[in-house]
Each structure stands twice: as C-alpha cells, then as structure tokens.
Amino acid sequence: MRYPTVLIVDDEPLTRWSVSETLADCGYEVMEAADAQSALRAIAIPGGRTDAVLLDMCLPDSRDLMLLSAIRAISPKTPVILMTAHGTDNVIEEARIRGAFMTLHKPFDMSALPPLVAAAVASSDIY
C-alpha cells in the first residue's frame, strides 16, 4: 500500500520539521522544500506524485500567491493548503479563487493537520 505523499513548503526549518514529524507519525510520506524554486522542482518531478501540498505564503523567493497559481498550473488536481500569518480576508478569498483547498492561520495546532490533510487528499480522489 502506498501512503499519500505531502510536500511541505516553508522557509522556517522548525515549522517544516514539526509539520513533517506530525504527518510522518500518521503514515504520510513527506517531502520538504524551503523556497519556491525547490517546491516547483519537487512538484514537477516526472513520474512523481504529490498528493497534497502545505504551502507557506511568504518564502524568500515568493511573497504572494503566484507560487500557489504555479503549483495549480503544474498539478491542477493536487490540493494545496496555504499556511500564513498574513491571512487577511482578501488573501483568503484570493487563495480560494486560485484553487487553495484551505488557508491555515499561523500559528496553528499541529493536531489539526492530519485530519485536514486526509480531507484534502480525499478531495482529490473525486477527479
């Protein structure tokens, strides 16, 4: 049985580690990226499969929702959960329009991640 693979994109090493450990403890395969370019390379691996993405909105090389749009263009069926400490109503609405599955406000409770990621992965199975 193949476990779902989740790409975690965050420039903060502690956040990446915490999210990775939480999801790995629940059986998910985890990939990590610290910037937009690494995230795009990971999502575009030929023959690779990313079942969900946890995406920080503010990265060293991307400080807006363009990376969300790029990920959706490369892999339109992959659910993306946006993580941000800058989640204004406008940002949340724009993220939804660009195809985000959900927006999480930082800081968030790690125990909320496994059921949220499970729901995101399940949502992509309907396509």
Tens digits of per-residue pLDDT, 66-92?
Answer: 999 999 999 999 999 999 988 789 999
Q: What domains can be seen in the chain, in order of their start residue? A: 5-124 (3.40.50.2300)
Task: Count the Cβ atoms, other than its own, within 10 Å of residue 122.
Answer: 13
Phi, psi (rounded to 5 degrees) for 58: -105, 110
Tens digits of per-residue pLDDT, 13-72?
Answer: 999 999 999 999 999 999 999 999 999 999 998 877 899 999 999 999 998 899 999 999
